[in-house]
Chains A and B, each alone.
Chain A
Amino acid sequence: MTRLDDGTSGIGAASDTTTHASRRLLRVQSSPSRHRPLRRAAVGATAIGALLLAACSGGTGTGSEAEGPVEGGTLVYASGDAEPTCLDPHVGGNYPQALVATQYLEQLTALDENREPVPWLAESWELAEDGLALDVTVRDDVTFTDGTPLTSEAVAANIAHLQDPETGSSTGYLALEKVEDVEEVDERTARIHLSEPDSALLENLAMPWLAIQSPAALERGMEENCAAPVGTGPFTVSEWNRQESIVLERNEEYTSPDPAAENTGPARLERIEWRFIPEAATRYSALASGEVHVIDNAQPDAISRAAEDDAIAHIDAPRPGASNRIELNAGQAPFDDDRVRTAFIRAAAVDEGIESLFFGTAERSYSALSSIERHVHADPAPFGTDLEEAAALLDEAGWTAGDDGVRTKDGERLTLRFPVSTNQSIPAEISLFEQIQAAVAEAGFDVQIQQLDLASWYEALAKNEYELVSAPYTRTGPDVLRVLYHSDGIEPAPSGYFANHAQLDDPQLDELLDEAARTEDETERGQLYRQAQEIILGGHYILPLYDQQNHFLHRAGLHGVRTLAVSTPTFVDAWLED
């Protein structure tokens, strides 16, 4: 850390020489710092997006922390995700884009600790009686970093941009499915017209993929906007050295921190250097030696090592949306038979594997939804293991034991093709799949794991050449269940993509999910989602494993890091001890 800080702390000190010097004096007296690793404390705590994390919530109370935030400095962030090809999260819309865009773009709504939508760039909203129009009034004191004021026109322009096929938005586009058009009622109020009531809209508007950008900047065209999107965030995109780093500079005119922020004005950090370090071991080593301050995609071994290092703190921020789960393709044999699905789940012992491969960093899930979502329903009952029951069920379904241990029926072997994306499954997860493969082999299943790159993996799904699959899906709110398990999701898009990998086709479930998506009353909505989840879990269509793992490690000298709606970190409150 010293190497980088030495180069930058001078800049921060220059702005505020006297106080800075006296702080430094105090800090010397108060050392040595005694940060305690907070791994356990952080687990689950981050379910609340607004919570102050790690070092801050620990309350070990070192002198430098008690003194309050330090102004200035350059934060170095090392991302293990692929470098986005476009910095505008409207285009495409994946997690790496959301991570970096959180630093320079903001949304109309935020989610509070109960995952309830609260005002952010929108000051207030009002839903029409019939639920077919939402009047959104934006704040009057916010200006984009190119000088354009935030108005209703900006809201209209952004929704139009997301809905324009030329933009190629997938995540944002899907979230605005029911939006017909946007009317500018006055300077600050935009009326969003809907084709049918949409109880997920305000939750969806909190996602970085629906961030509000300067309408003037959007007009510059795709290429320019991809290189440097213009928003209202605490930082602005200053340089992008492809394959190396993105340099973000502080927005000195910043006025719109999210509702959970402590800070009311510009960020304390002067600059963020956003680097791409694809190799997990290198990333951790760079953090341990202090070359970088924060790393994402921290792997289980690194997290457990960091727990013994007082200089490193841990943030466990599971992603919202779906849990990580294995889906059983019920659209074709052999999993079109409930007994075979049940037998698979009875044979698939996963608890010990999760415990040992993830070093205790991942908690077993019994739900289709992320544990941080509202209306999540977890039920361990359908997922008990019992090899004898598995054998009995398979016998009953007509699958008889073969010579080599693999069961057969009418000359067909009980083979399960399991395409695994090496881009989406971390090594620990792939090892877990191998353990499951070994466990279900005892019951006579022949699981064939195929490790594939992303394009081949999508191709295997598009061709319906799979019986098992594990695919992450991040989104805000329980409406993700409709995306993943409504029978509409079996129909592939022209590119071959479809989201309902379990190929769950149940009219009763469709009805529940449609109804929930139209229901504004939160209690009623919760009941509908509960019934829907009972069908999904009880039907043995999925084997939940754990939440979508999203771990950050940072230097203990970095304070005030929080995560927002989709569990991406914000540095608006953050400051660096020097």
Chain B
Amino acid sequence: MLGAVFVLWAAATITFFAVRAVPGDPAETIIGGPGSQAGEEALAAARAEYGLDLPLWEQYLRYLGGLLSGDLGTSYALRAPVTEVIGEQLPGTLALALTALLLGWALALLLVRQAARGGRVSRVLGTIMEVTAAALPHFWLGAVLILVFATTLGWLPSVSTPDLPGLILPALTLAIPLAGFLGQVMRESADDALASTFALSARARGESPAGLFWRHVLRHAVLPAASLSGWAFGTLISGAVIVETLFARPGLGRTLFLAVQGRDVPVVTGTVLVVALAYVLITFAGDLLEMLVDPRRRRV
């Protein structure tokens, strides 16, 4: 718990100072973007309104104070509370990330199951597929999926729409590399489990290969992958920055991208903080899942 608070504080502090270290006058962003021909008066008024005329340490303390009361500040560019901006964009990104996470798991299980069932050839093939999938960059993969499924086949829209068909391509773009990674992790434990004595005894009891896999091996295979889901979720959020921009899908990733480009400091810090919070929560959920799967953990 204390660790979680520390992580959040560190994330808030690092982003606060990092975004202030970059060049550019935030007052100009407020007035109308870089290159604005705003007068000195208008700039001064904007600085005063957003407290930018205060010393840095005072700005920092005010910012922390605001955080404690749940206030993330006001967006320079959108002129709306950051909590509201994030609140609007969060559901879309969560839907995307969770769908991708589920899809990623499903694909990974399929891969591992396939490899566990087949002989040496399918095993090698499975490994190649996993390594390749894990290495695919989101940007390239998304572009290829658009080219195949939207432009050529016309099955799915290339621009993400709020309905289910619009979610498939962006989610797949995130899920495929994730599946490759999860598959690699699961495989190793699955192999160990298959070679272990309990698998042998189960087989001796007359357990079918499918039953052996789903009832006995899977638990062991899933464990390391489950504990990595927190990390996986994080990669999904950072992947969302690319995928949401590519598919023109509204969400937190695109908000973050635009905010960084536009030097919208409160939105950047707010988004980073929310993502950090999500990391913490997901890691916690991953721990819970581990306990569910592994009875040994429950006794501790």
What chain B residues lie within 8 Å of A423 (beta carbons)? 261
The smallest C-beta distance from A97 to any residue of chain B, in angstroms, reads: 10
Contacts A165-B39, A242-B78, A243-B89; is A78 near B159 (CB within 8 Å)?
yes
In-complex Cβ contact of A456 among B23, B29, B37, B78 (8 A): B23
Contact pattern, A 484-506, Cβ under 8 Å of B = 1, otherwise 0: 00000000011111000000000
What chain A residues lie within 8 Å of B159 (beta carbons)? 78, 275, 277, 282, 286, 291-292
Of the listed residues A83, A174, A283, A454, the one surrounded by the most CB atoms of chain B closer than 10 A to its CB is: A454
What chain A residues lie within 8 Å of B248 (beta carbons)? 78, 275-279, 282-283
A278 to B254, CA, bound (A): 10
The reply to whether B246 and A493 contact each other, CB–CB distance below 8 Å, is: no
A493 to B42, CA, bound (A): 12
Contact pattern, B 219-263, Cβ under 8 Å of A = 1, otherwise 0: 000000000000000000000000001111010001100100111
The reply to whether B147 and A456 contact each other, CB–CB distance below 8 Å, is: no
Interface residues of B in 115-151 (CB under 8 A from A): 143, 146-147, 150-151
What chain B residues lie within 8 Å of A496 (beta carbons)? 25
In-complex Cβ contact of B78 among A85, A286, A288, A494 (8 A): A85
What chain A residues lie within 8 Å of B263 (beta carbons)? 455
A85 to B77, CA, bound (A): 6
Interface residues of B in 73-94 (CB under 8 A from A): 77-79, 88-89
Contacts A165-B39, A282-B159; is A454 near B33 (CB within 8 Å)?
yes
Tally of A-B Cβ pairs under 8 angstroms = 124
Asked whether any CB of chain A lies closer than 8 Å to the CB of B24, the reply is yes
In-complex Cβ contact of A279 among B89, B150, B245 (8 A): B245
A495 to B28, CA, bound (A): 7
A453 to B143, CA, bound (A): 24
Asked whether any CB of chain B lies closer than 8 Å to the CB of A259, the reply is no
Asked whether any CB of chain B lies closer than 8 Å to the CB of A459, the reply is yes
Asked whether any CB of chain B lies closer than 8 Å to the CB of A223, the reply is yes
In-complex Cβ contact of B158 among A223, A289, A454, A459 (8 A): A289
The reply to whether B151 and A494 contact each other, CB–CB distance below 8 Å, is: no
The reply to whether A166 and B250 contact each other, CB–CB distance below 8 Å, is: no
What chain A residues lie within 8 Å of B150 (beta carbons)? 285-286, 289, 291
The smallest C-beta distance from A2 to any residue of chain B, in angstroms, reads: 10
In-complex Cβ contact of B88 among A82, A242, A283, A453 (8 A): A242
Asked whether any CB of chain B lies closer than 8 Å to the CB of A91, the reply is yes
What chain A residues lie within 8 Å of B247 (beta carbons)? 279, 282
Interface residues of A in 448-480 (CB under 8 A from B): 453-459
The reply to whether A289 and B31 contact each other, CB–CB distance below 8 Å, is: no
The reply to whether B34 and A454 contact each other, CB–CB distance below 8 Å, is: yes
What chain A residues lie within 8 Å of B35 (beta carbons)? 454, 458, 495, 497
A94 to B32, CA, bound (A): 10
Q: Number of B interface residues at 8 Å Cβ cutoff, please give it.
A: 44
The smallest C-beta distance from B88 to any residue of chain A, in angstroms, reads: 7
A562 to B79, CA, bound (A): 34
The smallest C-beta distance from B43 to any residue of chain A, in angstroms, reads: 6
Asked whether any CB of chain B lies closer than 8 Å to the CB of A281, the reply is yes
What chain B residues lie within 8 Å of A292 (beta carbons)? 159
What chain A residues lie within 8 Å of B89 (beta carbons)? 243
Contacts A170-B36, A244-B250; is A165 near B41 (CB within 8 Å)?
yes
Asked whether any CB of chain B lies closer than 8 Å to the CB of A353, the reply is no
What chain B residues lie within 8 Å of A277 (beta carbons)? 159, 248
What chain B residues lie within 8 Å of A174 (beta carbons)? 37
A92 to B28, CA, bound (A): 11
The smallest C-beta distance from B298 to any residue of chain A, in angstroms, reads: 44
Q: Which residue of A lies closest to B30 (CB)?
A: A168
Asked whether any CB of chain B lies closer than 8 Å to the CB of A235, the reply is no
The smallest C-beta distance from A32 to any residue of chain B, in angstroms, reads: 18
The reply to whether B36 and A282 contact each other, CB–CB distance below 8 Å, is: no
The reply to whether B245 and A168 contact each other, CB–CB distance below 8 Å, is: no
Asked whether any CB of chain B lies closer than 8 Å to the CB of A173, the reply is yes
Of the listed residues B31, B150, B248, the one surrounded by the most CB atoms of chain A closer than 10 A to its CB is: B248
A117 to B21, CA, bound (A): 48
A286 to B158, CA, bound (A): 6
What chain B residues lie within 8 Å of A289 (beta carbons)? 150-151, 154, 157-158
A82 to B261, CA, bound (A): 10
The reply to whether B36 and A497 contact each other, CB–CB distance below 8 Å, is: yes
What chain B residues lie within 8 Å of A283 (beta carbons)? 248
Asked whether any CB of chain A lies closer than 8 Å to the CB of B49, the reply is no
What chain A residues lie within 8 Å of B37 (beta carbons)? 170, 173-174, 493, 495, 497
The reply to whether B36 and A243 contact each other, CB–CB distance below 8 Å, is: no
Contacts A166-B42, A243-B89; is A291 near B158 (CB within 8 Å)?
yes
A33 to B285, CA, bound (A): 58
Contacts A92-B32, A291-B158; is A493 near B255 (CB within 8 Å)?
no
A399 to B103, CA, bound (A): 63
A168 to B29, CA, bound (A): 12
The smallest C-beta distance from A484 to any residue of chain B, in angstroms, reads: 14
The reply to whether B151 and A285 contact each other, CB–CB distance below 8 Å, is: yes
A94 to B262, CA, bound (A): 14
Contacts A243-B89, A277-B159; is A495 near B246 (CB within 8 Å)?
no
Inter-chain pairs besides A243-B89, A243-B250, A291-B159, 19 sampled, C-beta below 8 Å: A165-B42, A166-B42, A170-B36, A223-B79, A278-B245, A282-B159, A282-B247, A283-B248, A289-B150, A289-B157, A289-B158, A291-B150, A291-B158, A455-B23, A459-B23, A459-B24, A495-B31, A495-B43, A497-B37
**19 interchain pairs (CB within 8 A)?**
A85-B77, A94-B33, A168-B32, A168-B42, A242-B250, A243-B258, A282-B246, A285-B151, A285-B158, A286-B150, A286-B159, A291-B150, A459-B24, A494-B38, A495-B25, A495-B31, A495-B37, A495-B38, A496-B25
Binding site for B on A (CB under 8 A): 3, 78, 82-83, 85, 91-92, 94, 165-166, 168, 170, 173-174, 223, 241-244, 275-279, 281-283, 285-286, 288-289, 291-292, 423, 453-459, 493-497
